[in-house]
Amino acid sequence: MSAREHILSRIRAAVSHSVAAPEAFEPSRRRAGFAAFASQLGGAGGEALGPLAAAELSACVADLCRRWAPGGRVLASDAALLRLGAGPWQPIPAGVSPHALADVAVAILCGSLGVAENGAVGLDGREAHPRALPVICERLVILLETRALEPDMHAALARLPDGALAHHHFTFVAGPSKTADIEGELVLGAHGPRALTVVGIEG
């Protein structure tokens, strides 16, 4: 067994137990769960909008794109395009080189999981493809259904999407890129997106 296979087997064993959906995030309480998520994301330098009805989603994201990237390049994953329909975005070109993504002003992806305790969003490697896109874009928008929220990382790991560990990576994103120098001066966007917005979708 290779080192990678050994690690994956340990992760699978750790998250194989079933976790009941927490009462706090049942349909009648999902707005409260999203509010808790939004608060933690805001503390990490990101922002959360919504939750919105599906009919409101396209207009909201189009407004973000107009404000952030007037005339700039906006790419959306296939899953995001299905939710958004037509707008100021284009599909991600097949087989594109990471170097060809350097001018992407906004990338729009769909998150698999949200974690209320820390404001993190899980991105499946099948969605965040190519891998460089959510890192190299100037601003990142992640669409997230409220029913995909979990209270903490333990519950989130237990509910990873089917096949998530069989692919190259599954990444938890918590806010925009940030770093600090020895003086403690926080800088956003040093190593990745300057801004992260999570748009909640009622469901």
Spatial separation of the C-alpha atoms in residues 56 and 148, rounded to whole Å: 19
Q: Is the pLDDT score of 192 beyond 80?
A: no
Spatial separation of the C-alpha atoms in residues 99 and 78, rounded to whole Å: 20
What does the pLDDT read at residue 161? 81
Over residues 15-61, the pLDDT tens digits come to 444 444 444 467 767 888 899 999 999 998 899 999 999 999 999 99
Token code pair at residue 71 = 């005339």
Domains of the chain listed by start with CATH number? 19-201 (3.40.50.10420)
Amino acid at 24: A
Percent of the chain predicted with pLDDT > 70: 83
Amino acid at 20: A
Containing 121, the helix (H) or strand (E) segment is strand 120-124
The band of 6, judged by pLDDT with boundaries at 50, 70 and 90, is low
100, β-bridge pairs: none
- For β-strands 113-115 and 149-150, DSSP reports them as parallel
Spatial separation of the C-alpha atoms in residues 73 and 104, rounded to whole Å: 5
Average pLDDT, rounded, for the chain: 85
Residue pair 75/86 in contact by the 8 Å Cβ criterion: no
| 113 three-state secondary structure | strand
Better-scored residue on pLDDT, 118 or 4: 118
What does the pLDDT read at residue 137? 92
Over residues 61-92, the pLDDT tens digits come to 999 999 998 889 999 999 999 999 999 999 99
pTM: 0.83
- Averaged pLDDT, 133-151: 94
Show Cβ contacts of residue 175 under 8 Å, excluding neighbours closer than 6 positions: 41, 44, 45, 46, 119, 196
b/e per residue 64-82 (b: at least 16 CB within 10 A): bbeebbeeebbbbbebbbe
Q: Is the pLDDT score of 11 beyond 80?
A: no
104, β-bridge pairs: 73
Residue pair 160/19 in contact by the 8 Å Cβ criterion: no
